[in-house]
Structure 1
């Protein structure tokens, strides 16, 4: 049986911004799906403890006022997210995340910020991640156009209602990887452990290629140095953010 026909666990964050080292969680979802079982989403709304910029509110719809009035303390939310993901990992389930380094790195820094044991400290090398962004680029590298989650859903004929809500995006990511595995035999025929490892290689190659593109693009040369090859998250270094 292929990994994609078993239980998948989708994970998504909506945040105060795009800096994984300093921005905060606003909403989150961990959703189980597949394997002939019901879809089981768990969602959170956090009070991030800082103002939510208008640009972020325009994306996910959560204002500072709403987060403060209805959100739970960030430390509690982060601890519960980490717990649910760790539980899934110990059950041997893959975590599906669109652009994994963003969500996992931000969750890691939030955990450290709030004194919560980070996910990777709990599960170590047992974490297995499926990233539709990395996989799609690897199997179809020359296709033109953007590859956001919305774009992938459109290309593969999937509905994405309520985009940029954590629950909708987490579930959509699972649906995209299922379609990818159905379409590409090399994905569904690769064991989960091996697929995790090869995605690390693909992600590094893709990041290196993107950095080279930036380096030769007038006006963007300075951006090349900031491109990271880490996947599925940027490891924490002592003394860093």
Structure 2
């Protein structure tokens, strides 16, 4: 099945040193770009994370410190990656909760102004979980009737995610072949203000906290009544993207 695209759609997958968005780093990224005319391009990069890759992470993706010691850092690759993603929508498997926040964090650390909020996202895992409740390997087996070789390598997972989405569109007649629809109905970013989901929009479109003692309260009101909470977050172990978001809210309110 050919995807109905208005913009190029990039299926991407990351392998990392761990799952802490604030502290861990990317060690491999694969980008499978699908153009509206059906043309496909794939690029994969190994990345020096400038930190030790824990053995438990190596056990999953097979990448060691030795494998990436001579590879470019993310900062060295960031502009190239941003150029390749420019004007594209994005798709992944479990990307809403991990890959997108992690990629956004790396761009911020590298000082590259890449606004990920301008593009649409499709999380194929959300479609899968709403329909079948399985894993990527099981999804590939279920939808494509094939075994996923080299699971947990970024390139194999990105290619498998692309094939799963095409098969999902063929299997479910009610699943519209339209990235706008898939993004709105099958992405957890709909109400997020930051990628990590610490700040969300409520039903009135107001930014509210989605964690801790102020869950459900207006960010602007909390910062107004408890300025130390802003300082606590800025000094705390929160993603740079979250800190960027709360700073924009605080400056907006101060300038009113």
Whether these two folds match at TM > 0.5 is: yes
Deviation at 1:201, TM superposition (A): 6.1
- Where in structure 2 are the equivalents of 1:1-241 lying within 5 Å? 4=3, 8-33=9-34, 37=38, 39-69=40-70, 71-87=71-87, 89=88, 94-101=89-96, 102-120=98-116, 124-125=117-118, 127-140=119-132, 147-156=134-143, 157-188=145-176, 191-200=178-187, 236-238=241-243
Indicate if the aligned counterparts of 2:15 and 2:153 stay in contact, CA closer than 8 A. Answer: yes
Deviation at 1:34, TM superposition (A): 7.5
What is the root-mean-square deviation in Å for CA atoms of aligned residues? 2.8
- Work out the number of aligned pairs and report it: 196
List per-residue Cα deviations over 1:54-90 (Å, max 9, x = no partner): 1111111111122113x11220223322321224x1x
Could you say what secondary structure the match of 1:238 adopts?
helix
Deviation at 1:235, TM superposition (A): 8.8
**Take 1:203 and 1:132, find their aligned partners in 2: how far apart are those partners?**
15
More helix by share: 1
Segments of structure 2 that go 5 or more residues without pairing to the other structure are: 192-210, 213-238, 247-256
Segments of structure 1 that go 5 or more residues without pairing to the other structure are: 205-224, 227-233
**Take 1:56 and 1:201, find their aligned partners in 2: how far apart are those partners?**
26
Indicate if the aligned counterparts of 2:4 and 2:179 stay in contact, CA closer than 8 A. Answer: no
Deviation at 1:192, TM superposition (A): 2.2
Deviation at 1:8, TM superposition (A): 4.2
**Take 2:153 and 2:187, find their aligned partners in 1: how far apart are those partners?**
27
TM-score (norm 2): 0.67
Deviation at 1:188, TM superposition (A): 2.8
Higher relative contact order (CA 8 A, sep 6+): 1
- Which structure: larger Rg? 2
Indicate if the aligned counterparts of 1:139 and 1:184 stay in contact, CA closer than 8 A. Answer: no
Indicate if the aligned counterparts of 1:29 and 1:43 stay in contact, CA closer than 8 A. Answer: yes
